[in-house]
Amino acid sequence: MGGEAFVETFGTIYASNITPAAIGDWTDGELVQAITEGVNRDRQPLFPIMPSSRYKEMDIEDLYSVVAYLRMLKSISNDVSEKKLKFPFNHIERTFPETYNPISKPADTDKLAYGKYLATIADCISCHTPRNKTGKPIEELYLAGGYEFPIHGGGTVRASNITPDNTTGIGSWVGEDFINRFMEYSFPPGEGIPVEQENNTIMPWSAYATMTDADLSAIYLYLMSVAPINNNVNEWGRTE
């Protein structure tokens, strides 16, 4: 239902309400445009925390499934505050809209390509690649972590280095370690995740725990194929 505040160098941006109460009268085309091009129905840019630069590659069938799913959500009224961008980001933001440039979903037998596709549309890449001060991903630190998020109740958490670097990334993990790390969070529906306050994370572990082993292992294979980057991330530490 939105409302999550992302406090950044750029200002304060609130995640939108995307239940039918707010977007019920948007057409499918307008929703597709928001997801893939990062613009609202008036073609005004959405701040690029919304990862359209990755979603623009989503296969059209998957995109329709997302739209169909949004239509099925329970309608929740929640007036989310307008974003407040600091100068100069209120101007820079206008340069961000993307163009929908879909790739066809690779066959799941082509594990590497399929894993890359999943990592793209499941958002791993946008969260695990840090951004520069204008919100653009730093491609030299592709998947090397460090992107910092504020968490409820104060504090911050940083995305981990998930490149195959042996010391600072997940290079020493075998496929089973990777899958098990996600399975730790598979709970029957309705049961909360017992996370310690100081270890609150925005990594959507429980949502991903519903992925199949085959999908997770394809993602793992893809991650193992990217360039290892030595970048030591202190996930739970305070900002220096």
Contact indicator for 17, 76 with CB cutoff of 8 Å: yes
The site string for ligand HEC over 10-49 (x = CB under 6 A, - otherwise) reads ----------------------------------------
**Nearer to ligand HEC (CB atom), residue 31 or residue 219:** 219
Cα–Cα distance for residue pair 211/201, rounded to 1 Å: 19
Q: Is 122 a binder of ligand HEC (CB under 6 A)?
A: yes
Q: Which residues pair with 131 in a beta bridge?
A: 137
Q: Is 201 a binder of ligand HEC (CB under 6 A)?
A: yes
Q: Is 221 a binder of ligand HEC (CB under 6 A)?
A: no
Q: Is 157 a binder of ligand HEC (CB under 6 A)?
A: yes
Identify each DSSP E strand in the chain by its residue range: 5-8, 11-14, 84-85, 148-150, 156-158
Q: Count of CB atoms within 10 A of residue 190's CB? A: 5
79: Cβ–Cβ under 8 A, 6 or more apart, which residues? 17
Cα–Cα distance for residue pair 30/12, rounded to 1 Å: 24
Q: Is 124 a binder of ligand HEC (CB under 6 A)?
A: yes
Q: Is 160 a binder of ligand HEC (CB under 6 A)?
A: yes
- The CB-of-161 to ligand HEC minimum distance in angstroms stands at 7
User: Residues 18, 159, 179, 224: which binds ligand HEC (CB under 6 A)?
Assistant: 159
**Nearer to ligand HEC (CB atom), residue 10 or residue 149:** 149
Q: Is 202 a binder of ligand HEC (CB under 6 A)?
A: yes
- The CB-of-1 to ligand HEC minimum distance in angstroms stands at 17
Contact indicator for 119, 223 with CB cutoff of 8 Å: yes
Q: Which residues pair with 5 in a beta bridge?
A: 14
Q: Is 206 a binder of ligand HEC (CB under 6 A)?
A: no
Interacting span for ligand HEC (CB under 6 A) from 27-35, 63-71, 123-131, 184-192: 123-131
**Is 205 exposed, middle or buried, given 0-12, 13-18 or 19+ CB atoms closer than 10 A?**
middle
User: Residues 181, 185, 206, 209: which binds ligand HEC (CB under 6 A)?
Assistant: 181
Cα–Cα distance for residue pair 135/232, rounded to 1 Å: 21
Q: At 200, list the tokens.
A: 């609150």
Q: At 109, list the tokens.
A: 């037998």
- The CB-of-149 to ligand HEC minimum distance in angstroms stands at 6
Q: At 195, list the tokens.
A: 């996370």
Q: Is 143 a binder of ligand HEC (CB under 6 A)?
A: no
Q: Which residues pair with 14 in a beta bridge?
A: 5
Q: Is 235 a binder of ligand HEC (CB under 6 A)?
A: yes
Give the residues lining the site for ligand HEC (CB under 6 A): 119, 122-124, 127-128, 149, 157, 159-160, 162, 170, 181, 201-204, 208, 219, 235
